[in-house]
Structure 1
Amino acid sequence: MNKFSHIDLRVHDLQRVMPFYEKLLPELGFTQTFHSANWRVFAAEGKLPDVPYFAITEDKEHQPNSNLIGFWAKDQAEVDQIAKLVQECGGTINDGPRLFPISPTYYAVYFEDPCGNKYEMVHRLN
């Protein structure tokens, strides 16, 4: 059983990041939306609360840090696809996509949302 439940993410400008997440999160499998006045929630297929979800709220005082959220890719092509999407929707590529010396098959892209929150999309065989 995968114990992952959810991510509660803070951003300092919700209006600025929503176009980014509206394109990125469905590509990562968060295809359902459950938005409210204070939260924008993107959930995987199924019924809440039994599915993983990604919730975003605005905190004007939020400062991004070195925390990083990682996502698995099914292959290197998906890593490349997400890298292209990130660039198209206002994110910043920090490194990659490329092989990293973590393992012989560790292919990843490191990126940030428009508010500076950090992510990684990775495919590896071992």
Structure 2
Amino acid sequence: MTIDHCGVYVPSAKANQVNAWYAEALKPLGYGRHHSEPIPAGEVVGYGESIQAMDFWTIAIDDEPNVKLHIAFRAKDRAAVDAFHAAAIKAGGTDNGAPGMRPYAPDYYAAFVHDPIGNNIEVVCRGAAAPAPSADGSAGVRQ
């Protein structure tokens, strides 16, 4: 069984800032903002690769959320991890771990950024890096 979707609660006073951040930070993963619906505290916003594949949501609430979350998005390759980190920092996120290998598994390449309200957002690529030519012209594995 897999998770269908998840969401974060955002204070209504910061919802515009947070949604602008997610719109920019998730672009390198192929995500876009595909749905918005008014609710009493503001709006619910859906993100995903398409309107049929929205799997991440922000939900405006009147108060500050009392829990900080760690959410990991899967990237198709290491370049997307790098691009996420750069876009997320440029959009106003706080670095919480530059792109690189992690000790969690031999092929775990990830980056971490805190969103504007402190959630720890990770993007990970599992799998070997693309082969890079060695000095003799043969393919080697780049770490």
TM-score, normalised relative to structure 1: 0.81
List runs of 5+ in structure 1 lacking aligned partners: none
Higher strand share: 2
List runs of 5+ in structure 2 lacking aligned partners: 129-143
Q: Which residue of 2 aligns with 1:35?
A: 36
Larger Rg: 2
User: 2:33 touches 2:47 (CA, 8 Å); kept in 1?
Assistant: yes
Give the whole-Å Cα distance in 1 for the aligned partners of 2:5 and 2:111. 22
* CA shift digits 1:62-107 (9 cap, x unpaired): 1342x31111112211111110001111111101211111122211
Identity of aligned residues (%): 28
**Matched length:** 121
Give the whole-Å Cα distance in 1 for the aligned partners of 2:49 and 2:3. 12
Moved over 3 A (4+): none
- Return the structure number with greater relative CO, CA threshold 8 A, min gap 6: 1
User: 1:69 touches 1:120 (CA, 8 Å); kept in 2?
Assistant: yes
SS of the residue corresponding to residue 111 of structure 1 reads strand
Following superposition, the deviation at residue 116 of structure 1 comes to 0.8
* CA shift digits 1:14-67 (9 cap, x unpaired): 0221210121234333335111122112243253xxx343221222221342x3
